[in-house]
Amino acid sequence: MFSLALKNIFFYKGRSLTTFLLTFVSVFLFIVYVAFMDGAHRSMLKNALDVYTGSLQIYHKEYREKGGYDYLIDDVSKPLGILARTKGLKAYASRLETYGIASSKKHSSAIMLTGVDFDKEAQLSELKKALKKGTYNSKGACVYMGETLAKRLHTDIGEKISFVGSAVDYSFVAELFDVCGIFKTGMYDFDSQSAFMNRRYFDSIFLSEGMATYIVAMADSLGENDKIAAHIADRLPPQLELYTWKTLMHSMVELMKMDSFFGYISMGLFFMVIFFVIMIYGFINVNARMKEFGVLRAIGVSDARVSALLFTEILLLTLAAMALAVPLGAYVAYYFQVHPIIIAGMSDMYKSYGVVSDRVPTLFDPVIIAWNSALVFGLNMLSILYPIRYVRSFTPVEEIHHV
């Protein structure tokens, strides 16, 4: 049966070449398309988490719903101690956020001022790498602000801004700060309202020693993040609650799911076209070979063996195409993961979606590549079912006299 199937493949060259090329293109494009789509999503998520969010955060249970100083973490020593004993964390730190009005000589803007440990933030976030000019690790009455916020205030390095807000005991705070550093992450909302201050000086002004709005941590591997989060959550005091990036970045996660959904729909339509083209070519092929099948059945070849012959033909063509397409597609996925495509200006175009890099990497994942290849393989096998059913609808005599 194998030798006969191989002989038929080379005899019917047109049909065989068409099936081979369609299968090759389907497998190769599917692998590369999904690699770029998943790579873009992974890069977007990593950028957003690395910039500032981290992979998990710890809050007072009421804070995210009600906000305000009444629901701060009033003693960070215990949760920080738990994080210190947790394996798999790259870095962690506490932050305290306050809101107020910042003013330069002629302009004012709402501002989110955050007290941070700059040394820990250098390991945890991209704030240090985002430095555009000035000093990152500022001391005393210095602020490190976003570039868009600085433009709104028409201020620059070395100039002073005033800040009006309230301390954690709701007393009035009015201070003058020097602009010591300016950063740009590329995330518009973040750059347009955020400013940072050394935690020691911040605590002296806002009376926030030992307190935090939240504690942020970054896992070494996002794949282990849920496991690490469950371990930490079991050990936290009852008034604290842990959130993973899936909750913190819910809108982005939903956006990526929707993008993937429509991406797979597009590929699904493409595969449906390929499926029907291969099936039609299979039908034309068996229709032209009806006399051959009639003779085979007349001399005692069973219907099952005729079906097996057609299955073997499509199987050999599919395996041959996949043997070329899978390694080639996998190589392209791996190559562009190591050497991402750079599209100049892309980060400016999509900065509101968390894209802060012009690099477009792929995601090389052998499991995903195997599933994609298996899907195309399955569709090819299904494409021969109707031609087989068509052959079986005739008797051997009808097939011999078939025109």
Predicted structure pTM score: 0.67
**Residue 11, pLDDT score:** 78
**Residue 343, pLDDT score:** 67
Report how far residue 349's alpha carbon sits from residue 346's, in angstroms, rounded to the nearest whole number: 5
Report how far residue 124's alpha carbon sits from residue 63's, in angstroms, rounded to the nearest whole number: 22
**Residue 106, pLDDT score:** 86
Q: Assess whether pLDDT exceeds 60 at residue 350.
A: no
Ranges 96-105, 299-308, 371-380, most confident = 96-105
Ranges 144-153, 343-352, 362-371, most confident = 144-153
- Residue 50 is classified by DSSP as I
The closest of 15, 25, 36, 14 to 274, measured between CA atoms, is 25
For the ranges 59-63, 69-73, 98-102, 360-364, the lowest mean pLDDT is seen at 360-364
For the ranges 96-105, 218-227, 250-259, 264-273, the lowest mean pLDDT is seen at 250-259
- Give the residue-averaged pLDDT of 72-101: 93
For residue 99, count other CB atoms closer than 10 A to its CB: 12
**Residue 87, pLDDT score:** 92
Report how far residue 92's alpha carbon sits from residue 317's, in angstroms, rounded to the nearest whole number: 54
**Residue 3, pLDDT score:** 79
Contact 183, 127 (CB under 8 A): yes
Select the more confidently predicted residue: 249 or 384: 384
Q: Assess whether pLDDT exceeds 60 at residue 353.
A: no
- Give the residue-averaged pLDDT of 345-350: 54
CA–centroid distance for 163 within its chain: 38
Confidence of residue 376 (pLDDT cuts 50, 70, 90): confident
CA–centroid distance for 350 within its chain: 15
- Do β-strands 172-183 and 142-146 pair in parallel, antiparallel, or remain unpaired? parallel
Direct distance between the N- and C-terminal alpha carbons of the chain, in angstroms, rounded to an integer: 26
Query: Where in the chain are the domains?
Result: 2-49+252-400, 62-238
- Do β-strands 89-103 and 214-219 pair in parallel, antiparallel, or remain unpaired? antiparallel
Q: Assess whether pLDDT exceeds 80 at residue 117.
A: yes
Select the more confidently predicted residue: 191 or 274: 191
**Residue 348, pLDDT score:** 57
- Residue 365 is classified by DSSP as -
Q: Assess whether pLDDT exceeds 80 at residue 181.
A: yes
Report how far residue 160's alpha carbon sits from residue 176's, in angstroms, rounded to the nearest whole number: 7
Confidence of residue 276 (pLDDT cuts 50, 70, 90): confident
